[in-house]
Amino acid sequence: MAPSRRSSLAFRFIPPLIHIPAGPFLMGSSAADALAYSDEKPQHPLTLPDYWIGRTPITNAQFRPFVEGDGYTNRAYWTDVGWAWREDKKVNQPDYWANAEWNGDDYPVVGVSWFEAVAYCRWLSVQTGHEFRLPCEAEWEKAARGPDGRIWPWGNTWEAGRCNSKDAGIGKTTPVGHYPNGASPYGILDMAGNVYEWCATKLGKGYPYRLEDEWAAAYVEEDTSRRLRGGSFWREAKYVRGAYRDSSNPRYRSRNDGMRVVSHAPVVGRDEG
């Protein structure tokens, strides 16, 4: 296949990415935040290298080629424990995949376990020739809050009309980007509510946050609970804060849980906007 043709096909799989510049940000919650939980403290400065993160969660349309291709049959995409789980449970698509209430093309994919989220990132990397992975908690939080440690992506004052939380009263997911006035300082959408998003980070990582390679094979292969961020359509204001840390068993599949991808570099030849 000619390189230009291959690139054109690969671009179809790649979600729009937003550049997050290198530099410090405030991670965690201060003592002044009455909504904060103990595992969000202490608030501390943390410096990250630059990276690129999906403007929105992965949609059903973006996940579909993984399902219809070899995503669930190619062992190479899966962790050892994840593959054993998939084989045992005979998993061949996300939960709710055939349910019209949840499977619209521009809606976030839901019903994916952490194992499936990892496999999707590896599959996407192979299809595009460009490395994608799940964000670590620090990358996710900086993208959601900006450098100044704001409580919600838009600022420090709760405004129910800026995201799909329980207060919105919708009771299900909405198309990605449905709340443009809820964007983070970097223009990232759906960082509060709609769906929780899997992170690479293991449960039990304390603060101050210590940077490490959370996509290293040994780290990813550990069979342990992983962090979820962002809250969902059924969660109240305090649970859709940028600093809130949730977690779940990597096998867990819920209509509240989705995913977002990050990369260490831009996609050459792609205008990310």
Q: 19 burial class (0-12, 13-18, 19+ CB within 10 angstroms)?
A: middle
How would you list the strands of the sheet with 262-263, edge to edge?
17-20, 51-54, 262-263
Q: Which domains does the chain have, with CATH numbers?
A: 26-263 (3.90.1580.10)
- What is the mean predicted confidence (pLDDT) over 141-149? 97
Q: Would you say 246 and 228 are in contact if contact means Cβ atoms under 8 Å apart?
A: yes
Q: Would you say 55 and 19 are in contact if contact means Cβ atoms under 8 Å apart?
A: no
Query: Backbone phi, then psi, for 237, in 5-degree steps?
Result: -50, -45
Per-residue pLDDT tens over the stretch 187-246? 999 999 999 999 999 999 999 999 999 999 999 999 999 999 999 999 999 999 999 999
Cis peptide, bond prior to residue 42, ω within 30 of zero? yes
In angstroms, what CA-CA distances link 55 with 35, 176, 203, 212, 271?
Answer: 27, 9, 25, 24, 13
Distance (Å, rounded) from C-alpha 261 to C-alpha 133? 6
Percent of the chain with pLDDT over 70: 95
Distance (Å, rounded) from C-alpha 176 to C-alpha 173? 9
Q: How many CB atoms lie within 10 A of CB 205?
A: 16
Is 70 exceeded by the pLDDT of residue 272?
A: no
Q: Would you say 99 and 114 are in contact if contact means Cβ atoms under 8 Å apart?
A: no
Q: What is the pLDDT of residue 3?
A: 41
- What is the mean predicted confidence (pLDDT) over 8-34? 89
Per-residue pLDDT tens over the stretch 148-183? 999 999 999 999 999 999 999 999 999 999 999 999
User: What would the DSSP string read from start to end of 84-143?
Assistant: HHHHHHT--S-TTTT-TTT--TTSBP-S--HHHHHHHHHHHHHHHTS--BPPPHHHHHHH
> Comparing C-alpha atoms, which of 29, 111, 126 is closest to residue 74?
126
Q: Where are the beta strands (DSSP E) in the chain?
A: 17-20, 23-27, 44-48, 51-54, 196-202, 226-229, 246-248, 257-258, 262-263
Query: Backbone phi, then psi, for 128, in 5-degree steps?
Result: -105, -15
* Residue whose pair of structure tokens reads 């919105």 in the numeric block: 168
- Name the pLDDT band for 6 (thresholds 50, 70, 90): very low
